Amino acid sequence: MIRSTGDCTYLILGVENQTEIHYAMPVRGMIYDGINYGSQVNEISRRHRTDHDLNSPAEFLSGFTAEDHLTPVVTITVYWGSQPWDGPRSLHEMMQGSKVDSNVCLHTNCYLLA
pLDDT of residue 113: 77
Stretches where the chain sits below pLDDT 70 are 1-4, 10, 12, 114
**Predicted local confidence at residue 18, as pLDDT:** 93
Give phi and psi for 5, each to the nearest 5.
Answer: -140, 115
Per DSSP, 7 falls in state: T
Q: What pLDDT score was predicted for residue 73?
A: 86
pLDDT at 61: 95
- pLDDT in the model for residue 14: 82
pLDDT at 105: 75
Question: Which residue spans within the chain are E strands per DSSP?
Answer: 3-5, 8-10, 14-18, 75-79
The pLDDT value given to residue 9: 72
How high is the pLDDT of residue 2?
58
pLDDT at residue number 95: 86
State residue 72's pLDDT score.
85
